[in-house]
Structure 1
Amino acid sequence: MATRKLLHKPKRNKIRAKLIAHRGGAGEELENTITAFTRASQKDVHMLELDCYLTRDNHVVVSHDAHLLALTGQDVYIHDVDYKDLPCLKPVLEVEFAKGQTCCGNSNDRNIPLLRDVFERCPRVPMNLDVGTDNDVLIDKVIEMVVEFKREDITILGNTDENMTRKLHAKAPELLLFFSEQSFYRLLKVFYLGVIPFVSFKESFLEIPLGSVLKDAGMENWIFTTFPRLYDAVVLNPLLVFHLHRRGIKVFMWVLNTEEQWEQCFACGADAVMTDYPSKLRDYAKEKKL
């Protein structure tokens, strides 16, 4: 394939992930617990994926949901509760991206952890961190902790909301970002219009689902959920992936839990896969010599 000189300097970062434990491996341990994160980091996983929110007394905690009914059985929001009063997780949780599957974990750890504790327990493990809400206190505290723990080169920040991503970039332009939903659609637009070489990006990581994941999760875009193969053809265009790689932008796929999905993603040139089953993905990667 012929190459041309890039108009923008390629991005550089230290992250070399292929295996990412989604919520610490939600199919193997209770999601987003200290146990999940520490055990995943011992399984040759290259990165942890997690989300964070702010409690009423301004503690940054790790949870995928702001509303805790599904996770704890308590009809409360994290922002309405002090950290010490947060309820424990249910002993058994559904695995969101594995239909019909549940996880009961292998320990008694059912606590919603502090982000600080996760950083302390996994000090040099790369992390992909979704900052959950557009809250300046939350954003500032997350950035402060990333800097305090000297994680600037191994922590990716972002949110699906473009306003959040812009705030993160404005407050700490040196930190690594993933594409928001709006910037992802902008990326597709400029690529298919043929002007992508002239467009700069603040983000270094494109994190997207497969069409089959969108369909199974019942997500909003009816075109892509009705025609998942069309979606895959659009977003996994080999020329797009090639251009992103030349620009130093890595492509992560989420949340994939079957060998068929893993094979499809690595075959199209994706750099990494997020999964709820990191042990299985690790064994698959070893078998395929990835």
Structure 2
Amino acid sequence: MSAARHPYLDHPAPLPFAHRGGASAGIENTLTAFRRAVELGYRYLETDVHLTSDGVLVAFHDETLDRVTDAAGAIAELPWSVVRQARVAGREPVARFEELLEAFPQARWNVDVKAEPTVRPLVEAVRRAGAWDRVCVGSFSEARVARAQRLAGRRLATSLGTRGVAGLRLLSYGGPVAERLLGAAVRRSAVCVQVPERSSGIRVVDRVFIGAAHRRGLQVHVWTVNDERRMNALLDLGVDGIMTDDLETLRAVLAARGAWV
């Protein structure tokens, strides 16, 4: 199934993604943050998932509660009865991923799988909700993406992992090694490549890279862009989506270009 045919991408590009629901608001990955994003007109929401010690899938970026909540400890070592008492920014509860699927039935979710134990519970949550058209799974780990594909099949949209991104970058310059790095198993359900503009000082996103992705039916989504000038520059290059913490700025940029839908 090509990127153009997958229902996850049934929205005119460029796609605006609310990164963690708009992390600049200070209440990232919470029901309140995502509700605010939806009220601003965002249809694409980005989040991360971790699993509690008793198997509850939560929308949370860090491995521990320490940075953004009034509690502490590794989520994987704590039961849901403890995690649910934590408050993001001292006031917002940690959200279960299935709760988000239920609360925003029209939203598209970009989900970063943060740890191996979350893969099967995530696929099962998507299955229970019948949300195959609404979820795209990605991870820095190629193995996690591949496992999600094996469990769900091509009905699940995915983005390329780090090996696939490296292969695509090399492929943009040509060569058989790049084809092997991309890997047929990874390509089968990939609908997009999601990358930073630069990595370790090396430019990732340019016209050559975007062209290589588009020739293979992959959209290019860039994270995390909060600067108006960079947003415009990337859109001028032809990227298909931008993830941002600054929801108002990205909306204004797209509106000024006649591209806010």
Shorter-chain TM-score category? 0.7 to 0.9
Contact persistence 1:12–1:248 (CA under 8 A): no
Once residues 105 and 53 of structure 2 are traced to their aligned partners in structure 1, the CA distance between those partners, rounded to angstroms, is 26
- The residue that corresponds to 2:196 in the other structure is 209
- 1:286 corresponds to 2:255: yes
Once residues 273 and 173 of structure 1 are traced to their aligned partners in structure 2, the CA distance between those partners, rounded to angstroms, is 27
TM-score (norm 2): 0.87
Contact persistence 1:124–1:151 (CA under 8 A): no
Residue by residue over 1:108-150, the C-alpha shift from the partner in whole angstroms, topping out at 9 and shown as x without a partner, is: 4x11111111111111200100111011xx2222112212222
- The residue that corresponds to 2:174 in the other structure is 193
Q: How many residues align?
A: 246
Q: Which amino acid aligns with 1:52?
A: V
Contact persistence 2:58–2:94 (CA under 8 A): yes
Contact persistence 2:168–2:213 (CA under 8 A): no
Q: Which amino acid aligns with 1:116?
A: E
- The residue that corresponds to 2:221 in the other structure is 252
Shift of 1:46: 2.7
Instruction: Report the identity percentage.
Output: 24
Once residues 60 and 27 of structure 1 are traced to their aligned partners in structure 2, the CA distance between those partners, rounded to angstroms, is 24
- The residue that corresponds to 1:243 in the other structure is 212
Q: Which amino acid aligns with 1:88?
A: R
Contact persistence 2:159–2:191 (CA under 8 A): yes
Question: Aligned ranges for residues 2-41 of structure 1 at < 5 Å?
Answer: 12-14=5-7, 15=9, 16=11, 18-41=15-38
- The residue that corresponds to 1:95 in the other structure is none
Residue by residue over 1:63-117, the C-alpha shift from the partner in whole angstroms, topping out at 9 and shown as x without a partner, is: 00011221225440001111121122234xxxxxxxxxxxxxxxx4x11111111
Once residues 147 and 182 of structure 1 are traced to their aligned partners in structure 2, the CA distance between those partners, rounded to angstroms, is 27
- The residue that corresponds to 1:133 in the other structure is 115
Q: Which amino acid aligns with 1:129?
A: V
CA RMSD of aligned residues (A): 2.1
Contact persistence 1:158–1:168 (CA under 8 A): no
Contact persistence 2:168–2:209 (CA under 8 A): no
- The residue that corresponds to 1:97 in the other structure is none
Q: Which amino acid aligns with 2:208?
A: L
Structure (1 or 2) with the larger CA radius of gyration = 1
- 1:170 corresponds to 2:150: yes
Once residues 84 and 183 of structure 1 are traced to their aligned partners in structure 2, the CA distance between those partners, rounded to angstroms, is 38
- The residue that corresponds to 1:113 in the other structure is 95
Secondary structure of 2:242 counterpart: strand
Q: Which amino acid aligns with 2:65?
A: L
Indicate how the Cα distance of structure 1 residues 166 and 118 shifts in structure 2: closer, same or farther if over 3 A, else same: same
- The residue that corresponds to 2:129 in the other structure is 149
Q: Which amino acid aligns with 1:78?
A: I
Greater percentage in strand: 2
- The residue that corresponds to 1:227 in the other structure is none
- 1:58 corresponds to 2:70: no
Secondary structure of 1:260 counterpart: helix
Structure 2 gap segments, 5+ residues each: none
Indicate how the Cα distance of structure 1 residues 282 and 49 shifts in structure 2: closer, same or farther if over 3 A, else same: same
Shift of 1:151: 1.5
Shift of 1:236: 2.6
Indicate how the Cα distance of structure 1 residues 280 and 237 shifts in structure 2: closer, same or farther if over 3 A, else same: closer
Secondary structure of 1:160 counterpart: coil
Indicate how the Cα distance of structure 1 residues 10 and 22 shifts in structure 2: closer, same or farther if over 3 A, else same: closer
Shift of 1:289: 1.3
Secondary structure of 2:50 counterpart: strand
Once residues 124 and 46 of structure 2 are traced to their aligned partners in structure 1, the CA distance between those partners, rounded to angstroms, is 19
Structure 1 gap segments, 5+ residues each: 1-7, 92-107, 215-220, 225-230
Q: Which amino acid aligns with 1:69?
A: D
- The residue that corresponds to 1:179 in the other structure is 160
TM-score (norm 1): 0.78
More moved, 69-78 vs 49-58: 69-78
Contact persistence 2:64–2:73 (CA under 8 A): yes
Residue by residue over 1:20-68, the C-alpha shift from the partner in whole angstroms, topping out at 9 and shown as x without a partner, is: 0000001135100001111111211130000011101111011000112
Contact persistence 1:29–1:35 (CA under 8 A): no
Once residues 24 and 67 of structure 2 are traced to their aligned partners in structure 1, the CA distance between those partners, rounded to angstroms, is 16
